[in-house]
Amino acid sequence: MDIEQIQVGFMAVFCYLISCPETGKALVIDPAGDEERIVDRAKEKGLDLETIINTHGHPDHTCGNAKVKALTGAEILMHELDAPMLSSGHAQDMTRQWGFEPSPMPDRLLNDGEDIPVGEVSLKVIHTPGHSPGGICLLGDGNLFTGDTLFVEGIGRTDLPGASMEQFMKSIKERLLTLPGETIVWPGHHYGPKPSSTIGIEKMSNPWLR
């Protein structure tokens, strides 16, 4: 699995270009700005960008869906519990207030435990509600893409509709911290002192988890 971390937009979102070296098949996680740069990078690497995955439905992570889909024809995938965010009145108000582009509805809905193929490799969906009802992390080859669930030395916010601190901490402790300590954490924002971490390091250094 080849991983390229790309910081995009004005909210320091990390999107990820994930590809299979053997087949050139690729997907992008949370294209949230600089969409042409993302697509051009995929073209530079000779990749066939087939899939867009959103770790959750907030507009700072979905605002690039429409343009990337228009440029590549890629399908949009999102957990079934967050898909309503894209059409709800509150979400549309938030999208306009924050100056983001609205996203089309997902082409396919995801469920916990599902495997998403990328050529000869795959990512497993881990449902981690708390930041949002349908928040997910994605696990593959010892790499964990955590969206707004787990940051480097931080966690996502719980003051938005559908969030729950109790549910959030349960998700993190029972679904993420049980993974091997060497699992690499790739967060959804560059909010920490470095762009990536590991589960083991976060157990020791993340003040929310001690």
> For residue 90, what pLDDT band results from cuts at 50, 70 and 90?
low
How many angstroms from the chain centroid is the CA of residue 147? 4
Superfamily of segment(s) 2-205:
Ribonuclease Z/Hydroxyacylglutathione hydrolase-like (3.60.15.10)
DSSP symbol at 16: E
pLDDT at 94 over 80: no
Interior angle at CA 175, CA 169 and CA 178, nearest 5: 105
Give tens-digit pLDDT for 99-126.
Answer: 788 899 999 999 999 999 999 999 999 9
Amino acid at 59: P
CA distance linking residue 45 with residue 43, whole number of Å = 5
CA distance linking residue 127 with residue 115, whole number of Å = 12
DSSP states along 146-194: EETTEETTEE----STT--HHHHHHHIIIIITTS-TTPEEEESB--SSS
Give tens-digit pLDDT for 53-86.
Answer: 999 999 999 999 999 999 999 999 999 999 998 8
Q: Tell me the CB-side half-sphere exposure of residue 199, using CA atoms within 13 A.
A: 18
CA distance linking residue 39 with residue 104, whole number of Å = 18
Query: What is the domain partition of the chain in residue ranges?
Result: 2-205
Q: Are strands 48-53 and 136-140 parallel, antiparallel or unpaired?
A: unpaired
Give tens-digit pLDDT for 152-170.
Answer: 999 999 988 889 999 999 9
- Tell me, what's the pLDDT at 210? 77
Residues 6+ apart with CB under 8 A from 43: none
Other Cβ atoms within 10 Å of 15 Cβ, number: 27
